Amino acid sequence: MSSPTLLVIAHGSRDPRHAATVQALVRRAGLLRPGLRVETAFLDFNLPSVTGVLDRLAADGVREVVALPLLLTRAFHAKADVPAVLREAPASLRVRQAEVLGPSPLLLAAVERRLYEAGLTPGDKSTTGVVLASAGSTDPEAIAVIAETARELRRTGWCSVRPAFASASLPRTEDVVRALRAEPGVGRVAVSPYVIAPGRLPDRIAGGAVEADVLADVLGPSPELARLLVERYEQAVRAPERLAAAG
């Protein structure tokens, strides 16, 4: 019996770097599960669309799909947009929606990887304040998860970690950079974009980091993120009773 197809659903962006980064991440995840069919689709701006991929899978004779939202928190897209588009799947497909990526220790490891790649070392942690800069959301659950992620990152030994948001929520990156600069014990300030791929909001985060000492890269196709995609897929396969069928 073949394994369910993994369909990774990204938000999409007018910025071509977004789709290229998503595709690189999905390819890396696919290498961790040889033989598994892995597809990518986008909610908006980019092709292929979710409905287009689902129709193609059904035409190919696929019967089971695990749809994985490429999202860090359970905000509007995961709660409304993704389930709505999955309900349009052909009746021959059994589609299960996997959990979003966050929270996860693998995400914290990916954040630290990017900070180290930007020039920091583990020895810098005790004197470095980190701005964990996310895209932002109006969903209180999503905001709470980002705040808890910042607290978990702080527990790994960084001098201070505070969340910031590029839209929909406050505070902004530049304000948190200044606040951290004034904290006792903080010798340098680093901004870590807590986003998966480049685009308009990550560019806004970078714009707010001009007074920081270090700007890390987006999470992108990091090994930790690739592992997390496979982990969420396998959790969905093992626990189908927790996942609603679409179609």
User: How many Å apart are CA 41 and CA 19, to the nearest integer?
Assistant: 10
Write down the pLDDT at residue 244.
Answer: 41
Q: How does residue 14 score in pLDDT terms, banded at 50, 70 and 90?
A: very high
Average pLDDT over residues 150-177: 97
Residue 164: strand pairing partners? 133
Average pLDDT along the chain: 95
Task: With a cut of 70, say whether residue 209 has pLDDT above it.
Answer: yes
Is residue 117 classed exposed, middle or buried when 0-12, 13-18 and 19+ CB atoms within 10 A define those classes?
A: exposed
Reported as a single tens digit per residue, the pLDDT across 26-44 is: 999 999 999 999 999 999 9
Structure tokens belonging to residue 67: 């749809």
Neighbours of 214 (CB within 10 A): 18
Give the DSSP letter of residue 217: P
Write down the pLDDT at residue 220.
Answer: 98
Average pLDDT over residues 187-208: 97
Question: Cα–chain-centroid distance for residue 63?
Answer: 27
Write down the pLDDT at residue 5.
Answer: 98
Cβ contact 106:243 at 8 Å: no
Write down the pLDDT at residue 242.
Answer: 44
